[in-house]
Amino acid sequence: MTTGSLPYVWDYDISEDEFQQILDGRLAVGRLDQGWAAVRLLDYAPYSEIVRRLGFKRLVEGWPRWREHVRSRSRTRGLDFLVGWLPKNRPDLLR
C-alpha cells in the first residue's frame, strides 16, 4: 500500500491511496470527487501515469465529461487526438 503524497495534489492533504480511491469513485472528500481527481490527473500528471491510473478505456469513456475542465490547451489537443485515434486504430486497448 502506498501512502505518500502525489506532486499533482500538492495543495491537498490526501495520500496516494486516497487519491486513487477518489479517482476510482470509492471515496469522496467534500467536493473532491471522481471528476475532480480525473481532471487533476489529466492536467498535471505525466502521460504514463494517466494511462496507468485511468487506463485507455476509462480515459476514452470519461473524456467527454472531463474535457471542458482541463486547463491546458495542449493537453486537451493531445487527448482529443488520442481519444479519437484509439477506437479507430487500437480498439483492442479499450477492452
DSSP for the chain, please give it. Answer: ---PPPGGGTTS---HHHHHHHHTTS--BTTB-HHHHHHHHHHHS-HHHHHHHHHHHHHHHHHHHHGGG---HHHHHHHHHHHHHHHHH-GGGG-
What's the whole-model pTM score? 0.90
Residue 1 has pLDDT above 70, yes or no: no
Mean pLDDT of 72-93: 97
Segments making up each domain of the chain, as ranges: 12-94
Residue 3 has pLDDT above 60, yes or no: no
* pLDDT score of 42: 98
Residue 38 has pLDDT above 80, yes or no: yes
Q: How confident is the model at residue 66 (pLDDT cuts 50, 70, 90)?
A: very high
Q: How confident is the model at residue 5 (pLDDT cuts 50, 70, 90)?
A: confident
